[in-house]
Structure 1
Amino acid sequence: MSKTAEERRAEAKIAYNAFVETCPARQVLALIGEKWVALTINALAGGPRRHSELRSLITGASQKMLTQTLRTLERNGLVARTVTGLAPVRVDYELTELGHTLVPLLAALKQWSEGHIEEITAAREVFAEKARPTRVWDQPPRHPRARLSPTGNDRTGRRHDAGVAPVRRRSQNVGR
């Protein structure tokens, strides 16, 4: 017995796994993870808005990036674009029914990020401190007699980097 197209789609839907490289659901996750998508959807959650309203609400997004984001969302069925009037033309953007299904998820993500930014900032600072390279005088000497002061000078007062004597250039040797 042959299956209908709807039955085949239902079976394929069950088989979707975003961890598999070729899965179409991975493209949806990539779309939602784009830089301006979550903010744009959250901004449109309150109802239709014009491009200029969105741009003033989502600071930092250039006109080009916002336009590209809106086109991508429209192409994927999450945003509807409505053009009204002849002169001047008015263009409004609003979430589709499918786009509204994302609002609770992305609003929760926005709220979570706003509520935990201090913890994330602290974690970044701890990580940066661990990743910072150590200073020359914090490292053990490479040679028993090579002792550097915190300024990087040896006992003779000459400047050395990491306990290695500086290389003289030809211009320094002129007249010697």
Structure 2
Amino acid sequence: MPSLPGFTCGLDATLRVVSGKWKPLIIYFLAQEGPIRYGELRRAVRDVSDKMLIQHLKELEADELVKRTDFREIPPRVEYSLTPLGRSLAEALVPLCNWGVENMVEVKRVFEQRQAGDAKGR
């Protein structure tokens, strides 16, 4: 297996760019919707705060996964889209999405069971 400078393996490199609760969802919705405005993305990625969404978008842009296009209009209009590198990552996330769909009922059951156990321990 080739060694990557600064990474223990390829998965380590991948996890570093998608680390955080919201980045995979941002990438997913950008892949589904194409170029999208901030407000639309905010509605798609439910429960994310403005602070976290802005922070993650800036990090994804710095990692060259997301492109921010400012149309320099009044009122301001900005769109976000995936770069070719971002699209390739989105394609790599498809099997994880499929796994989630196929196992959603079981995962929900496990989480509910764990939550019930946590409640008993209090």
TM-score scaled by length of structure 1: 0.57
Q: If each structure's helix is expressed as a fraction of its own residues, which one has the higher value?
A: 2
2:4 to 8, 16, 30: 16
Match for 1:115: what amino acid? E
Identity of aligned residues (%): 35
2:15 to 10, 13, 29: 29
1:56 to 25, 43, 52: 43
Q: How many residues align?
A: 119
- Measured at CA, do residues 110 and 18 of structure 1 come closer, stay the same or move farther in structure 2, by a change above 3 Å? farther
Gap regions ≥5 residues in structure 2: none
2:90 is matched with which residue? Answer: 103
In structure 2, what is the Cα distance between the partners aligned to 1:128 and 1:87?
A: 48
More RCO (CA 8 Å, sep 6+)? 2
Gap regions ≥5 residues in structure 1: 1-13, 134-176
In structure 2, what is the Cα distance between the partners aligned to 1:115 and 1:25?
A: 23
CA contact (8 A) 1:36 1:69 kept: yes
1:1-176 paired onto structure 2 within 5 Å:
14-16=2-4, 20=8, 26=12, 28-45=14-31, 46-127=33-114, 132=120
Query: Which secondary structure state, in structure 1, belongs to the residue aligned with residue 58 of structure 2?
Result: helix
CA contact (8 A) 1:16 1:25 kept: no
CA contact (8 A) 2:17 2:63 kept: no
